Structure 1
């Protein structure tokens, strides 16, 4: 395996105090990690999964990717002991009474399939509620394997794993964050806890790098979709929910599954700026306000820019929106660009934005070159 540079961020070590009643998160340790601006590549909504683990005696591996914060019930016990909302393994033991301790190399592991392959910018190993039963240290490795490999295939000797997070001490009941600085495309992770213990949640933040052959085969597709490599560059407001929700797969399932801003008390408006997968020709637009019934945007307009320094060109003029409705627009003429901005008036929210089109010849060439450069 290959070691890589890890950028320093706020870290935590040591036990948290035993739970003493009241709000379980009152003494939870966390920090503002700069890489959380990126999408979570280990999101179940994108298709991520924990496909194997060597041990899940106390708590199931699938809990690692649950979207909601870990829950703690001090009175919930089962036949195997305390029921924890995370992945928890049994206590390791040595080989004999004379050597009852685990060896330096003993560890437990879980294999994670990312929902979309991409460049990883940061990882959070969350030990919420694991106060005295968290791992002493963690490490994370990544690999890129085409197709849908089995756990056995991923564990084969010929699979190359790159160290994303070297073995590092972590703290209990804390969000343990690690910035990653590796320009490489990954499809799977191996999360290790040394020597044993429990992890509540795993978050893997980064940029999607789609397969150019797949997009070429599709022809027409959503050129701003997160799963295809679109991303949010900036937004005027993220008060109630992240702007990245607007490019998630599928329709919104409830109000907070979209993007909603705080109420404006001025004469401005709210907006999101997106970067497309690459230069694309856009031919049709969907703006969905699903589940936003009393707080949807009143109007929306769409502008397109070609290149970082290009001029913004109106693609869709300011148009009235209806609550809880999917609006479809066929553009009078295709527009070409690399960036899109949606302006909503005056505030409120939308649940999804879809931009249907195809890569230009230049966009397809640049995506293929980047894919190859990143080891795809």
Structure 2
């Protein structure tokens, strides 16, 4: 992945996904929470408070002793980090010289004190920063993390932190629940689109309702005979039962019609099946449609005619056994070793030694690979069944 390609991936730390800055060692001049503010940083010159110029970012005091400053971020969607954007916009004489980023995998809702004792892994070594610049750093990591820690050396201000990557959901939360196969939080992702002039297509897959038009996807105005579209990779192979196309807030620029197709070969969209034929849309309306096609799909494409934008896309349905298996194995393979051992010992009651044997056999590319690992660990039939239920569904 190049130095900029990762910016097209979801921001795992986004507030819209539930991300939050939960601790910082110093925020004397500007609050740590600003790091995750949506939208670009702003600057109003000669706007002074009691502590100096007001900045739209996180800024620490001038450090007079050895060390560095830091802020801890809980990812809204745990996943594999492929790159970070440490944006120093408007910080010119007060930006840090360098930064580094660490990551940790702590399930549940740990407190800042508990995270201080976490096992932190460096995913971005100490790297130079430029002022008033979006500093883009690719990250080479394959593990699933829940938190990141931004270190600035030695002090200064950062306007925004974006943590781009692939969402890796915990499939144990899928059991018995209605599932939006396209939702970003469940592992759905936009793979391509025709146009993103006004706003990004990833917004379509965010949780909750859009509050303004800018929180959806909107294209430029077309002046030809073609149409705009978005391709979505689903969380896993599944059968789509219901579709939501929400044009809320899009009043003079909603599409006139849409069409939904789906398939299992992303390289041959021409072979995909029609899930919903070309259908009229209304402005500022949350539309719901039933799908009668029952064949499983892994990818979907929504075509809008001729252009415009809408707020949210929901594809409700159920995973196939193969889809649930793939999600479970991907999750288990990407857990740090200590987390994977904990899953097996706490949820399936394996011995530590048996769990370590299973974990040592990763990556487990299919169900047979998991069963071979369980056989190598010599676990009982009941324990093996429990592990398969947890990981494979």
TM normalised by structure 1 equals 0.86
Match of 2:291, SS state, is: strand
Tell me if structure 2 keeps the 8 A contact 1:241–1:260.
yes
Does structure 2 retain, via aligned residues, the 8 Å contact 1:315–1:335? no
186-195 or 329-338, larger mean C-alpha shift: 329-338
Structure 2 equivalent of residue 187 of structure 1: 146
Question: Which structure exhibits the higher relative contact order, with contacts defined as CA atoms closer than 8 Å and separated by 6 or more residues?
Answer: 1
Q: How far 1:73 moved relative to its partner? A: 2.0
Name the structure 2 match of 1:27: none
1:282 pairs, out of 221, 240, 246, with 240
Q: How does 1:150-299 map to 2 (within 5 A)?
A: 150-156=111-117, 159-218=118-177, 220-299=178-257
* Paired residues of 1:108 and 1:194 also in contact (CA < 8 A): yes
Deviation per residue, 1:233-269 (Å, 9 max, x gap): 0001111111111111112211121111112122111
**Aligned partner of residue 363 in structure 1, secondary structure:** helix
Contact 1:41-1:208 within 8 A present in 2 as well: yes
Shift of 1:82: 2.0
Instruction: Say which SS state the counterpart of residue 175 (structure 2) adopts.
Output: helix
Deviations 1:106-156 (A, max 9, x none): 011111001100111110101111111111110000111111111111111
Could you tell me how far apart the structure 1 residues matched to 2:318 and 2:236 are? 10
CA deviation after TM superposition for structure 1 residue 8, in Å: 7.4
3-state SS in 2 of match to 1:71 = coil
SS for the counterpart of 1:291 is coil
TM-aligned CA distance change 1:217 to 1:146, over 3 Å: farther
Give the counterpart of 1:90 among 61, 68, 89. Answer: 61
2: CA distance between counterparts of 1:128 and 1:266?
A: 37
Kindly indicate which of the two structures has a greater share of residues assigned to strand: 1
d(CA) in 2 for partners of 1:146, 1:372:
13
Q: How does 1:1-376 map to 2 (within 5 A)?
A: 9=3, 33-94=4-65, 103=66, 106-156=67-117, 159-218=118-177, 220-309=178-267, 311-375=271-335
Q: Give the Cα separation in 2 of the matches to 1:235 and 1:72.
A: 32
SS in 1 for 2:143: coil
The Cα of 1:90 is off from its aligned counterpart by 1.0
C-alpha distance in 2 between matches for 1:238 and 1:178: 23
* Contact 1:283–1:335 (Cα < 8 Å) also in 2: no
What is the distance in 1 between the residues matched to 2:254 and 2:295?
Answer: 26
Cα distance in 2, alignment partners of residues 255 and 369 from structure 1 = 37
**Counterparts of 1:207 and 1:131 in 2: how far apart (Å)?**
32
SS at match of 1:57: coil
Tell me the secondary structure at the aligned position of residue 34 of structure 2: helix
Change over 3 Å in CA distance of 1:342–1:132 after alignment to 2: same
Deviations 1:277-297, CA, capped at 9 Å, x for gaps: 010111111111111111111
- Indicate how the Cα distance of structure 1 residues 325 and 314 shifts in structure 2: closer, same or farther if over 3 A, else same: same
User: Any conservation in 2 of the 1:224–1:355 contact (CA below 8 Å)?
Assistant: yes
Instruction: Provide, for residues 72-104 of structure 1, a one-character-per-residue CA deviation record: whole Å limited to 9, x for no partner.
Output: 22211122222211111111113xxxxxxxx3x
- Partner of 1:135, secondary structure, is coil
Q: Distance in 1 between matches of 2:164 and 2:108?
A: 22
1:251–1:223 distance in 2 versus 1, CA, 3 Å: same
User: 1 CA distance for matches of 2:226 and 2:265?
Assistant: 26
Mapped contact 1:8–1:178 kept (Cα < 8 A): no
Distance 1:255 1:50 in 2: 26
Number of aligned residue pairs: give it. 334
SS in 2 for 1:154: helix
Task: Summarize the Cα distance change of 1:87–1:236 in structure 2 as closer, same or farther, 3 Å threshold.
Answer: same
